[in-house]
Structure 1
Amino acid sequence: MYKTKCKLYVMALGGCLMLTECKAPAVATSTASNPTVPGSFNTSTDTTNTATVKWRQFFTDPKLASLIDVALQNNQELNITLQEIAIAKNEIRTRKGELLPTVGIRAGAGVEKVGRYTSQGAGDASTEIAPGVEMPDPLTDFTIGAYANWEVDVWKKLRSAKKAAVARYLSSVEGKDFVMTNLIAEVANSYYELLALDNQLAIVKQNIELQQNALEVVKVQKEAAKTTELAVQKFQAEVLKSQSLQFDLAQQVTETENKINQLLGRYPQHVDRSTDDLLGMAPAIVSSGVPSQLLANRPDIKQAELDLAAAKLDVKVARAEFYPSLGISAGIGYQAFKTSYLFRTPESLLYSLAGDLVAPLVNRNAIKAAFQSANARQLQALYNYERTILNAYTEVVNQLSNSDNLSKSYALKAQQVDALNTSISVSNDLFRSARVDYFEVLMTQRDALESKLELIDTKKAQLMSVVSLYRDLGGGWK
């Protein structure tokens, strides 16, 4: 019987060693070439990059800076991301603990009654623990001791898992920075949108006063039989249209304020903001630097890179599952059927030491499936990394072009507004002298109002484009 057991153990150990020499499936690689980042966004190779400027220095409006401060403290999405960092940090501790032995203390008590006419019962009946004293029946059992289990990390499976957890923790930190960058940009863009609405509302109110004055002139001319009731009604309709637009803009102001309040994690309330003329605000000058700097400045690119590193380590962990694992277990303590005998040494002393070498044999298909899934996730992470770089470069190029075109458009629209402002006073003078029809005066006022509103929209788009370019270059999280 003893020889048979020895043969079985030797065969199992031999099988494990044979499987150790077996090769695991090869790691899949991407057939796509890694994208090469162009040398520049345009013809400039200047390495000066606005992304390195801290957001407090970039946004000089103190009221905007105050709003951003509140958002960074109270925004729910950002706080959720901070908890994800805490979770990732605890995962590192978990993986680190798996590298160390598991040590515990065990204490137990029990009672057992076996049949007298069995091999164990008959042996107990013939055993004397003292002259004339047999084994107690039923038999109690008391145990106290310490035990330890340790998986020896022969194939670096546990260490790779810990490194993957570290990479994911660093990835979550970059994810927090990316959320912060987008949050700052969103607050700033909403702030400029609110300022634009304030300025448009002021222009509409001024235009209503001009239209009402023109309406009074038309009424006087009608009484003097110089015009008709049709002209009066047309001017009246234009005044009503502008008054209606005033309330539409007021609603947009309320909604934009509430959007900012939501970003700041607070209930709807008035948003303190600048009262300066939006058209007098000069967009900040942004230096784009060179595309290679995106790899260091953009948190989403660094996050994708760390996710790729973690995915590669996951493949190593899955590959190590094909090889035998070595476990060591040990224990020491005392055991007796009576408490008074429990700590007698060496009679009640017990100890054990064992090593196990276990390799997969029947379940290799399941391990192979897990390995292939890890391989696929690694390729996903690689493609995501390539896509993130391409997307970042495209966003910067689009915003650079947008900023340039908006600057040219604004200059032309400003000239248009100046021309229409002049035409209003000219048309009013000509109308009073009955040299132009009232319809021309109406159309001139309407065109002037629309051009002023469009000019503010263009200025708003300019300011928002600068904010978006600052974000796309990777600024805002420092």
Structure 2
Amino acid sequence: MKNRIRINKSHLFGVLAILLLYSCVPTQKAIREENKVVPEQYKNRATDTVNLATVNWKDFFVDPKLIELIETALANNQELNIMLQQIAMANNEIKIRKGEYLPFVNVYAGTEVEKVGEYTRDGAVEEQLNIREHEEFPEPLTDFSVGLNVSWELDIWKKLRNGKKAAVLEYLSTIEGKNFMVTTIVSEIANSYYELLALDNQLIIIEQNLEIQQNALKMVKLQKEAARATQLAVRRFEAEVYKNQSNKFEIRQQIVEVENNINFLLGRFPQPIERDSENFIDLPIDAISAGIPAQLLANRPDIRQAEYELEASKLNVKIAKANFYPSLGINAGIGLQAFKTEFLTSTPESLAYSLVGDVVSPLINRNAIKAEYKNANSRQLQAVFEYEKAILNGYIEVANTLSDINNLKENYALKELQVEALTEAIDLSIRLFKSARAEYTEVLLTQREALDSKIEIIETKRDQLLANVKVYQALGGGWH
């Protein structure tokens, strides 16, 4: 007997050794680690760590009507509310993963009735047995039980704990995703708001220009009556008036569409947007403090989101690797069991307990586990590339916008000179036309160029404001 027991133990240890040996994981590592190196500074910028991204959006925007719109959007925007539900689900996933590596304790109660055939093995045995003298075996046989059951998978390879850590990182990733959505919503509303102000001012410019053109048309008609101008000149001036009148309706349609875009972001049906369009052309353009590129890693929510996704993907590789190893489980139970309820409380006769431990390891047909392990490695590589792409995209966005701000500043200064010159040219052309020293085409061309220049300077002002919003967003501001 002793030899037999020794042989069984040796067989058991041999089988376990084979299982452990066979559980070796195929070697596969990520091609490379993530690259976090960024340039020390932006082009033509000093290495000053003062960064606009740390400014709260309520302090960045000074227009109270714009601030009110943004606050409404952050409370009612449907996409943002959807993202908040994703955050809640990610938080629940942490609780699910945490519970997986803790023991499961269940309470049970049950009853059973069994009737076996007389000509079966169990029936033949019952026929010969008596529970007590002169008493037949109960038929049908009942069974009552109540107790506790415990099951626990020992997390010896940290698969379940890594799953919980990965869930935490995914939760943090959804938080950063929400922050990125907030900064996007803030910038979209600001952009649309400034677009509205620009359209309002363009409409004002067109109406002012229409007044000039209608006065010029009256003058040409008088000139025609005096035989100093032709019907051709009259019709050309009339066509110019009609053209600008039609442009008014185009601008009004654009205003409606931009207003409705803001209403959509605010989560409400179309209604007028309150705004202050006066003094648009005189709105100040503040200097930009861009900081240093390394600050993007901490300030931009999309980069932080990609970083959390990368760390979670590394843990998922470890989880997939642990699937090759044996899993150790323990099941235990204790309770009371009897064929009559009156015997349930008779202890220790009705006491029942069990303790089972098992080791399970994949042995044959492990292709699915291997495929999942390879997929986990590929997903980690994807996360590396996504992280590097987010950093590169962030740096380029800031660099492009800083360059745009500088060029728009120079552009606006020249536009001012152009508007001043052409505004003066309108009066000169009319006086010269009255004295027959200029053709009507020169008057028309001057008026048209003056209108275009005023429209362009409004667009340039709008672009300056949009560039400031864009660089604020690109630096990682807007979600604080």
Is the shorter-chain TM-score for this pair beyond 0.5, marking a shared fold?
A: yes
Aligned partner of 2:234 in structure 1 is 232
1:18 shift after superposition: 3.2
Q: Among 97, 106, 109, which residue is 1:107 paired with? A: 109
Q: What do residues 402-422 of structure 1 show as CA deviations (whole Å, max 9, x unaligned)?
A: 111111111111110100000
Residue 357 of structure 2 aligns to a residue whose secondary structure is strand
Residue 23 of structure 1 aligns to a residue whose secondary structure is coil
Distance 1:308 1:464, change over 3 A: same
Distance 1:330 1:297, change over 3 A: same
1:365 shift after superposition: 2.2
Distance 2:278 2:81 in 1: 33
Aligned partner of 1:345 in structure 2 is 347
1:124 shift after superposition: 1.6
Aligned partner of 1:319 in structure 2 is 321
Residue 130 of structure 1 aligns to a residue whose secondary structure is coil
Aligned partner of 2:121 in structure 1 is 119
1:15 shift after superposition: 2.5
1:5 shift after superposition: 11
Give the letter for the 1:379 counterpart. Answer: L
Q: Among 395, 398, 403, which residue is 2:397 paired with? A: 395
Aligned partner of 2:467 in structure 1 is 465
1:33 shift after superposition: 7.1
Structure 1 unaligned segments of length 5 or more: list them.
none
Aligned partner of 1:29 in structure 2 is 30
Q: Among 49, 52, 61, which residue is 2:51 paired with? A: 49
Aligned partner of 1:18 in structure 2 is 18
Distance 1:453 1:371, change over 3 A: same
Distance 2:463 2:8 in 1: 79
Residue 110 of structure 2 aligns to a residue whose secondary structure is strand
Distance 1:220 1:6 in 2: 126
Range with bigger deviation, 334-343 or 349-358 = 334-343
Structure 2 unaligned segments of length 5 or more: list them.
none
Aligned partner of 2:41 in structure 1 is 40
1:62 aligns with 2:64: yes
Give the alignment of 1:5-404 within 5 angstroms: 11=11, 14-21=14-21, 22-31=23-32, 34=35, 36-43=37-44, 44-404=46-406
Give the letter for the 1:387 counterpart. Answer: K
Distance 1:182 1:209 in 2: 41
Residue 148 of structure 2 aligns to a residue whose secondary structure is strand
Give the letter for the 1:16 counterpart. Answer: L
1:192 shift after superposition: 0.3
Distance 1:401 1:108 in 2: 76
Distance 1:292 1:260 in 2: 34
Distance 1:458 1:433, change over 3 A: same
Q: What do residues 59-84 of structure 1 show as CA deviations (whole Å, max 9, x unaligned)?
A: 01111000000010111111111111
Length-normalised TM-score, structure 1: 0.97
Distance 2:68 2:17 in 1: 66
Distance 1:412 1:12 in 2: 89
1:240 shift after superposition: 0.4
1:149 shift after superposition: 0.3
CA contact (8 A) 2:306 2:387 kept: yes
Range with bigger deviation, 274-283 or 249-258 = 274-283
CA contact (8 A) 2:34 2:384 kept: no
CA contact (8 A) 2:34 2:388 kept: no
Range with bigger deviation, 5-14 or 253-262 = 5-14
Give the letter for the 2:79 counterpart. Answer: E
Residue 131 of structure 2 aligns to a residue whose secondary structure is strand
1:278 shift after superposition: 1.6
CA contact (8 A) 2:336 2:352 kept: yes
Distance 2:170 2:47 in 1: 34
Distance 2:13 2:78 in 1: 56
1:220 shift after superposition: 1.1
Distance 1:149 1:13 in 2: 25
Distance 1:33 1:325, change over 3 A: closer
CA contact (8 A) 2:33 2:384 kept: no
CA contact (8 A) 1:16 1:324 kept: no
1:109 shift after superposition: 1.4
Distance 1:265 1:8, change over 3 A: farther
Residue 457 of structure 2 aligns to a residue whose secondary structure is helix
CA contact (8 A) 1:199 1:277 kept: no
Distance 1:303 1:124, change over 3 A: same
Give the alignment of 1:413-424 within 5 angstroms: 413-424=415-426
Residue 369 of structure 1 aligns to a residue whose secondary structure is helix
1:17 shift after superposition: 3.6
Distance 1:202 1:13 in 2: 91
